[in-house]
Structure 1
Amino acid sequence: MLEKSQQRKARPGRNIHVGLATCETEILEAQKLRYRVFAEEMGARLCSRTPGVDRDLYDPWCEHLIVRDEDAGRIVGTYRILSPAAARKVGGYYTENEFDLTRLQHLRSRIVEIGRSCIDAEYRSGAVIAMLWSGLARYMRDNDYDYLIGCASVSMADGGHNAASLYNRLRETHLAPLEYHVFPRCPLPLDQLRTDLEAEAPPLIKGYLRAGAWICGEPAWDPDFNTADLPILMPMGKIEGRYARHFLEREN
């Protein structure tokens, strides 16, 4: 487990640290941050019953990784973590709503799902995401898990042409071996979209791929978030040396 007291400096003069939320108040604050980013900034249609809060049926079963600015008194970044044991209790991974994970069945006891990643608009310099990643690395190491899985989103603001072009480019270099392929339940209609644009990967996806993650198949369309979601699988043993050192050095 992560130690909440461990300090991480994200910017000079700021008292910022990363750790797992330890109380309902911190979880609620993280869910409010998610609402501001996903609903208010991105225009997502969220199914929460509580105004201003992003919460679904998976939240009670998840651990919530947070970055807190103690000087400002607020949470500025978060990831939602679903362990294999928790996934069994809730009936599966969130990712299974979008993809058929049958070919990953033999890995289920070693897979941790991550999702709902977001950072406060004032803190998107790269430091906070690095802190979240160092927290994930520690979580995986301390609990002896081998794989991270999740959905990496690409905006559909242009109708999906950019997302289709990005997938077309990345499948040439980052596609998982066939035995790890998953299949979208609501596929992005690639045959109806342009695939020849100079598409730039969003920073989060770029970071995953640089660290050694695979794309496990064609993107799914998420109508609630209006995004094309790429299925990402990151074998912890595959993380490239310089990224492994970067993550683990931040935890010492």
Structure 2
Amino acid sequence: MPTLSKGRYQARLAETRADIEAAQALRFRCFVDPAGGGLDADPFDATCAHVLVEEARSGALVCCFRLMPLDSGAAIGDSYSAQFYDLDALGDFSGRMVEMGRFCIAPEVQDPDILRVAWGAMTRFVDAERIEMLFGCSSFKGTDEAAYLDAFAMLKHRHLAPKRWLPRVKAPRVFRFAQKLRRKPDAKRAMLTMPPLLRTYLMMGGWVSDHAVVDTDLNTLHVFTGLEIAAVPPSRARLLRAVAG
């Protein structure tokens, strides 16, 4: 993937060990300890491509994520997400897939253009690799579901996975929001508490599992998220390709 430059930011693939360690250090700050001082690393890093979004002038890393391409759903058991979700139903997906993981933005930076550039880079990768489904885990900060009940109610009412692809429970601790919640969501509160990455997935036609995994290691609640590329609304696809171009 060639470097993508838009405004103040540029996105590129990691090329060196130092690049990957910079991404792991940002992940540590975002997922483990805001004070930093460590690396968030796991065995999946070795098999993924790592995308870095940097401030063009200073070179400061402001966002990162990793990508694991799969030839089809038959290989989905090798994904990071398969540790937490029973994804056997997606084993029948015949097209190329990519798992996006460890997405994070530096907490001290508040600029929507960062997310826009990240999705532009993702769009370039999807088009170049002829990807037909994008998937991963979308995380809510903390493990207390009470802070996100409207968001989970919104997911239940509008964004559950099609039955043919629906992930089943595998993790030992989950919040079965589709089963437990009976409330009508407050749309404004739901969108305010929805993670920005997940909001973007949903605007493009993405869907989620019917339960959230309680991940105490990373202090998050996460839902499996899928997006079939053919389902992205044409107007949204044009916007993404305009950024990617």
Shorter-chain-normalised TM-score: which range? 0.7 to 0.9
Equivalent position SS for 2:175: coil
Query: Structure 2: how far apart are the matches of 1:213 and 1:87?
Result: 17
1:24-82 residue CA offsets vs partner (Å, 9 max, x unmatched) = 22111111111111112399xxxxxxx61111010011000111224223221111111
Q: Does 1:112 find its partner at 2:110? A: no
Residue matched to 2:214: 221
Residues 52/88 of structure 1: CA separation in 2 closer, same or farther (3 Å cut): farther
Distance in 2, Cα, partners of 1:42 & 1:88: 40
Q: Which amino acid aligns with 1:41?
A: P
Q: Would you say the 8 A contact 1:61–1:90 is kept in 2?
A: no
- What SS does the corresponding residue of 1:113 show, helix, strand or coil? strand
The Cα of 1:84 is off from its aligned counterpart by 0.9
Within the candidate set 124, 135, 141, 2:121 is matched to 135
Bigger mean CA deviation after superposition, 119-128 or 75-84: 119-128
1:7 alignment partner, SS class: strand
1:31 to 19, 24, 28: 24
* Identity rate, percent: 25
For the aligned residue pairs, the C-alpha RMSD in angstroms reads 2.8
**C-alpha distance in 2, partners of 1:227/1:42?**
18
Is this contact kept in 1: 2:53–2:118, CA < 8 A?
Answer: yes
Q: Quick check: 1:62–1:82 contact (8 Å CA) kept in 2?
A: yes
1:174 equivalent in structure 2:
159
Distance 1:54 1:212 in 2: 30
| Worse overlay, 165-174 or 31-40 | 165-174
Deviations 1:93-115 (A, max 9, x none): 00011100000002265221001
Partner residue, 2:54: 68
Shift in Å at residue 184 of structure 1? Answer: 2.7
- The within-5 A match list for 1:1-252 is 2-4=1-3, 6-10=4-8, 16-41=9-34, 52-84=38-70, 92-107=78-93, 110-156=96-142, 159-186=144-171, 187-188=174-175, 190=177, 196=183, 198=186, 199=190, 200-252=193-245
CA deviation string 1:184-232 (max 9, x = no partner):
3232255997764744312221111011101132212112122221111
Does the Cα contact within 8 Å between 2:176 and 2:211 map onto a contact in 1?
no
For normalisation by structure 1, the TM-score amounts to 0.84
Separation in structure 2 between the aligned mates of residue 141 and residue 203 of structure 1, nearest angstrom: 23
* Alpha-carbon contact 1:58-1:94 (below 8 Å) kept: yes
Gaps of 5+ in 2: none
Aligned pairs, number: 237
